[in-house]
Structure 1
């Protein structure tokens, strides 16, 4: 006589099995799904820019150039027998350091985008954030804020130190408007120049090429104009002088290299327009090309 078989208990369903009605009936990830947004891209780009050595070196050299050349110029003027002209803006002594320091911001701007293509890191970036426009916007915003902050602090410090050195030398005190243009205004211009370099790096995807082109944009018009001696090229020569970046930079100190051309806040609108055009081109190419 056979004994009745006891039914085996049913095994509990695995913990990973999805509930009935789930769009993915085979598997449910234990990792919560979070919709990414611009804040995540900003955090990522901030981590990148503060982690690479190029940021420390380029910004470190920039600060040394602005402070070192600015203070050296102030010391020479303070110890010389000739005083500054009564109409001359004493803050203009910071122009020479900023002009050389612009090369550092140009270099960092190009490297912020182009170096990722050289190392292949851009593939990881685009995989983590498929929205290419968001990636470019995050890079641009982080770089602009860093460049503006560093430039503003450097120009403000060197301006106060120069005024302390020139005290009693006959130099006049700058007005409030001159202080604003010589610190905030010129910092906005320099940050936009660096941002333009970042966009050029995104278009070219080549660090050396982008840096070379941007240094040429800064220096070539002024150098070419210096060697135009013929009368027939006088108008071209004048235009190169007026719209060269060194001359536009000097406008913020009310010390233009020419009697005509950009004045007031015109240089800021010029560089802003060029940056907007470059941003549109960089975004269009980024959406179209493979990474």
Structure 2
């Protein structure tokens, strides 16, 4: 009997094996970024959350801008009307931050993602980078539109300084984007959409509720003052030059710095937990 002729896909002896014409390249962070960008721009949750955020920030901001008098902007920045919509719009960014990572755990697709990219830190880092870029850009546009429209409506009220514009537009967008980045880290650690969103709502809302209540007790006054000063609504208000607490000289930079430290710590914890779990 004669031996069967090997097919082109069978291993050939003595180095005559099949060589794929497709070049083999080592993977890097750029590939993960491209993958996450494709995900975030094609899912409906991104369109809905960013869209609702725009409606809230721009819609409420313009309603406030047309209702107030020119005298209100003599010593106040034109970006202030955007604050009223941003206090609600931040919930949309937080929700998107959680869904960026938790939705894949909910559907089980995270197994496929980690199979395609075994370097888990690369996947989570790409999610965070893409989310931050999308949310920060959208917030800058939304706040900037309200500020520009307010400046046009109240053109006789004077002009806002460059520092006020930067704090309102860039500072406000950065603060809310960091809250969203914190939500990504919490979503990665909890791996449950409802639980992570609830936890983030507690972080944003509870300090502003508990702070005044704790102020009733004299022994808890110091803690109450800190909760009132550093809660999310007051921090955003300070960045827009109208702090709700008694710190009239504050510009929101220390609140922004504290949030950056807390977010960095949460991100470090999410990366540490990611490598210790099976999935």
Give TM-score, length-normalised by structure 1: 0.88
Structural RMSD (CA) = 2.3
Counterpart residue number, 1:269: 257
SS at match of 1:255: coil
**Which residue, out of 167, 173, 179, partners 2:159?**
173
Map 1:251-262 to 2 at 5 A: 251-260=238-247
Counterpart residue number, 2:25: 34
* CA deviations over 1:20-65 (Å, ceiling 9, x no partner): 665xx76544543222111111111111111111111000000000
Larger helix proportion of the pair: 2
Q: Which has the larger radius of gyration?
A: 1
Q: 1:85 to 1:134 in 2, by over 3 A?
A: closer
Counterpart residue number, 2:200: 214
The unaligned stretches of length 5 or more in structure 1 are 1-7
**Which residue, out of 42, 64, 75, partners 1:73?**
64
Counterpart residue number, 2:134: 146
| Counterpart contact for 2:87–2:233, Cα < 8 Å | yes
**Which residue, out of 227, 237, 246, partners 1:250?**
237
How much does 1:192 deviate?
A: 1.2
Q: Quick one: distance in 1 between partners of 2:74 and 2:66? A: 18
Deviates more, 1:260-269 or 1:103-112: 260-269
* CA deviations over 1:92-133 (Å, ceiling 9, x no partner): 221111110000000000000111111101001000100000
How much does 1:12 deviate?
A: 6.9
- 2:116 is aligned with 1:128: yes
Q: 1:121 to 1:145 in 2, by over 3 A?
A: same
Q: 1:176 to 1:85 in 2, by over 3 A?
A: closer
How much does 1:265 deviate?
A: 2.2
| Counterpart contact for 2:79–2:144, Cα < 8 Å | no
Counterpart residue number, 1:3: none
**Which residue, out of 176, 179, 197, partners 2:183?**
197
The unaligned stretches of length 5 or more in structure 2 are none
Q: Quick one: distance in 1 between partners of 2:164 and 2:243? A: 14
SS at match of 1:161: helix
Counterpart residue number, 1:4: none
Give TM-score, length-normalised by structure 2: 0.91
**Which residue, out of 45, 48, 56, partners 2:47?**
56
How much does 1:91 deviate?
A: 2.0
Q: Quick one: distance in 1 between partners of 2:23 and 2:5? A: 24
* CA deviations over 1:139-193 (Å, ceiling 9, x no partner): 000000000110011111110001112233xx33110111111111221121111
**Which residue, out of 136, 143, 148, partners 1:155?**
143
Q: Quick one: distance in 1 between partners of 2:114 and 2:275? A: 11
Q: 1:120 to 1:10 in 2, by over 3 A?
A: closer
SS at match of 1:90: coil
How much does 1:266 deviate?
A: 1.9
| Counterpart contact for 2:74–2:158, Cα < 8 Å | yes
Give the paired residue count: 277
* CA deviations over 1:76-103 (Å, ceiling 9, x no partner): 104xxx8316433332221111110000
Q: Quick one: distance in 1 between partners of 2:161 and 2:256? A: 20
